[in-house]
Amino acid sequence: MKVSVVVCTYSLDRYEVFTETVESVLEQTYDPLEVVVVVDGNEAVCQCVENDFGDEENVVVHCNDENRGISYSRTKGAEIASGDVVAMIDDDATAEPDWIERLVQTYEETDAVAVGGKVEPDWQVEKPDFFPEEFYWLVGCDERGFGEHGEELRNTYGSNISYERDVFLSVGGYDENTGRKGDRHIQAHEAPVCVRIEKEYGKGVVYNTNAVVHHKLFDYRADPFWLISRSFWQGYSKRIMDLILPEAKDDKNEYLKQLMFGFVPERVTGLIREPSLPKLEQLVMIFVFTGAVGLGYLYGLATPDLVEESNHR
């Protein structure tokens, strides 16, 4: 089984971080492996990639003619790829050496058509005391209660997900109305394609907690105002997701129940038994983030023209 790893990048500012991503993929224990690099319309970055990796036998480099966004780029990478499986990783992440080997093991041992792994936070600054693990999904990492090893989920996160290539392309790949494009980031990214796969093939994404990717988290992701803003736009994105795929199973509603009726009572009990400022801050921020998500969703309901425009951009 040949695997193609798609790495998309855009900015010269994070080029050094991107090279660490590519190098971690090239150091995988699994073979045969191909790396497909898609540069999203930045000629200067494309030239750097060609200079640094163009001579690598198992690296394919493609540069979009213009900035098309992460969803288009990842789908383009899958189209270019020659592997039986396409795996995705962000350009600010690094993979454990056995990452692909673990993903392939799941394909070989099950009838999976999509397999995802664990995304762990790699703080580049001191982790903020106020940030609860229940909301790690705000920074693209697996949150508390995300799933059990071997469980079939709706989707895992974009920095650690893979698909049988033919299956991924047969449902149209990623929806170009979602994902990052310049400053616009509609954050319902992996969910739509995974919902279409489940509808067409009757299977979700098998979660392998042993297939690990480390997602770098820089200083801005430790800013409470950035995280609150992120929460708001996550709620707004949920509204767009409802329009794109109204039939989708809503895992976030199940998560909200788990959060409010499971994790919050546990935290309250823990705070009473062993009071501390970080525990109190995290409990407060759970409600702040949840409220911001709700406001974002309501904003989407209140601005149907704006949502419709985002949905067809």
The pLDDT tens digits along the chain (313 residues) read 999 999 999 999 999 999 999 999 999 999 999 999 999 999 999 999 999 998 999 999 999 999 998 999 999 999 999 999 999 999 999 999 999 999 999 999 999 999 999 999 999 999 999 999 999 999 999 999 999 999 999 999 999 999 999 999 999 999 876 655 444 455 557 888 999 999 999 999 999 999 999 999 999 999 999 999 999 988 888 887 777 776 665 566 778 889 999 999 999 999 999 999 999 999 999 999 999 999 998 988 887 665 555 555 4
Cα atoms in the 13 Å half-sphere on the side-chain side of 101: 9
CB neighbour burial string for 146-157, b if at least 16 within 10 angstroms, e if fewer: bbeeeeebbbbb
Structural domain total, the chain: 1
User: Is 145 within the bounds of a domain?
Assistant: yes
Interstrand relation of 114-123 and 93-95 (parallel, antiparallel or unpaired)? unpaired
pLDDT reported for residue 181: 45
Sign of CA dihedral 50, 117, 94, 24: negative
User: Is 170 within the bounds of a domain?
Assistant: yes
As beta bridge partners, residue 87 has 5, 162
CB neighbour burial string for 248-260, b if at least 16 within 10 angstroms, e if fewer: beeebeebeeebe
User: Is 252 within the bounds of a domain?
Assistant: no
Nearest to 254 by CA among 141, 113, 151, 147: 147
User: Is 54 within the bounds of a domain?
Assistant: yes
User: Is 298 within the bounds of a domain?
Assistant: no
User: Is 199 within the bounds of a domain?
Assistant: yes
The structure tokens listed for 20 are 């660490």
Whole-prediction pTM:
0.90
Q: Which domain holds residue 125?
A: 3-222
pLDDT reported for residue 308: 57
pLDDT reported for residue 186: 59
pLDDT reported for residue 180: 54
Nearest to 227 by CA among 160, 122, 140, 306: 140
- Whole-number Å distance between alpha carbons of 131 and 194: 28
User: Is 261 within the bounds of a domain?
Assistant: no
User: Is 270 within the bounds of a domain?
Assistant: no
Terminal Cα distance for the chain, rounded: 37
- The enclosing domain of 123 has a CATH number of 3.90.550.10
pLDDT reported for residue 187: 59
